Amino acid sequence: MRLRKASALAAGVLALSLAATACGGGGDDDKISVGIKYDQPGLGLKTPDGDFVGFDVDVATYIAGELGYEPDQIDFVESPSGDRETMLDRGDVDFIVASYSITDERKEQVDFAGPYFVAHQDLLIRDGESVPNEEAIADLTLCSVGGSTSAANLAEQYPGAGLEELGTYSECLTGLENETVDALTTDDSILAGYAAQEQNQGKFTLAGLSLSDEYYGVGIPKGETERRDDINAAITKMVDDGAWQEAVDEHFGPAGHEVEPAPELTETS
């Protein structure tokens, strides 16, 4: 008799638990975790008051909305360049929108949706200085972030150049301002955001080189094809309804940075 009572009690608890889950009662489905950058003005920046702003933040918020999540249900998680694949593999985040260039090497570990943006690698230098051509890069000491495609491109294409790899672009910017490095190298979209910041105006300028084409994708765990398709649909809708261009104008317009039209989706299978 005790066994039957215990079983009945367990069944009742299970039924209540299922009912609470069906009503959205506090389960993991109530929130979605999205990886972004915290230190990239114009793309992904955490402000002193704890808000998140930038083009990537707007893209991530739009995608999450199409997946059924309100802005207050989004948990933005900092995703350093060198940690993104690991974070997706461990399930730390559901997807990543963090100036995440699509490469064959990365596609061995994670999948992508998109691309949703195209950028070009350039150099940020001190105002009044110049880099006349690509050949001059070999004589410079540059700074970039470890694990970024920019650092990998530089090491491969300009092995004679000095390269300092740090944890964040903000650290590289400090080195540029203190003249311990000659230039910060990464995507022009990121560099334009730094140059446009109020505290940096008049200090830095872009060299105007186009060293690579970087197609930003939304990183997702390997094999999540349904999630990829849903995100691709959200990106397409964002472009079609004008929200993509509005975000471009808001975040890159003040820097005078010209952005190419939204690229064609390639990560579809």
> Are 176 and 230 in the same domain?
no
What one-character DSSP code corresponds to residue 204? E
| Higher per-residue confidence, 132 vs 66 | 66
> Are 145 and 187 in the same domain?
yes
> Are 89 and 156 in the same domain?
no
Q: Classify residue 97: in a domain, yes or no.
A: yes
Residue 2 has pLDDT above 70, yes or no: no
Q: Classify residue 13: in a domain, yes or no.
A: no
Residue 1 has pLDDT above 70, yes or no: no
> Are 114 and 219 in the same domain?
yes
Angle at which helices 243-252 and 188-196 pack, to 10 degrees?
Answer: 50
Which among 61, 57, 47, 152 has a CA at the least distance from the CA of 98?
Answer: 57
Question: What values do phi and psi take at 129, rounded to 5?
Answer: -100, 170
Band (256; pLDDT cuts 50, 70, 90): confident
Of 39-43, 93-97, 231-235, 237-241, least confident by mean pLDDT is 39-43
> Are 107 and 125 in the same domain?
no
Q: Classify residue 15: in a domain, yes or no.
A: no
What one-character DSSP code corresponds to residue 101? B
Quote the CA–CA distance of 176 and 155 in Å, as a whole number: 19
Task: For tokens 């990886």, name the residue.
Answer: 35
> Are 114 and 128 in the same domain?
no
Which among 235, 240, 233, 230 has a CA at the least distance from the CA of 217?
Answer: 235
CATH code for the domain of 224? 3.40.190.10
Using an 8 Å Cβ cutoff, are 158 and 137 in contact? yes
pLDDT in tens, 157-207: 888 889 999 988 889 999 999 999 999 999 999 999 888 888 888 899 999
> Are 81 and 123 in the same domain?
no
> Are 112 and 123 in the same domain?
no
211 SS3 class: coil
Q: Classify residue 12: in a domain, yes or no.
A: no
| Higher per-residue confidence, 230 vs 253 | 230
**Which residues are bridge partners to 50 per DSSP?**
none
pLDDT confidence of residue 12: 44
Quote the CA–CA distance of 231 and 221 in Å, as a whole number: 13
DSSP notation for 131-187:
--SGGGGGG-EEEEETT-HHHHHHHHH-TTSEEEEES-HHHHHHHHHTTSSSEEEEE
Quote the CA–CA distance of 208 and 210 in Å, as a whole number: 7
* Host domain of residue 155: 119-206
pLDDT in tens, 77-115: 999 988 999 999 999 999 999 999 999 999 999 999 999
pLDDT confidence of residue 28: 58
pLDDT in tens, 45-71: 999 999 999 999 999 999 999 999 999
Q: What is the total count of domains within the chain?
A: 2
Quote the CA–CA distance of 160 and 142 in Å, as a whole number: 11
Using an 8 Å Cβ cutoff, are 96 and 43 in contact? no
C-alpha distance from residue 86 to each of 8, 17, 58, 246 (Å): 44, 33, 24, 32
* Dihedral in degrees, nearest 10, Cα atoms 57, 86, 106, 187: 40
Q: Classify residue 5: in a domain, yes or no.
A: no
Which among 3, 35, 46, 65 has a CA at the least distance from the CA of 220?
Answer: 35
Quote the CA–CA distance of 158 and 58 in Å, as a whole number: 35
Give residues with Cβ within 8 angstroms of 31, minimum separation 6.
69, 73, 74, 75
> Are 187 and 129 in the same domain?
yes
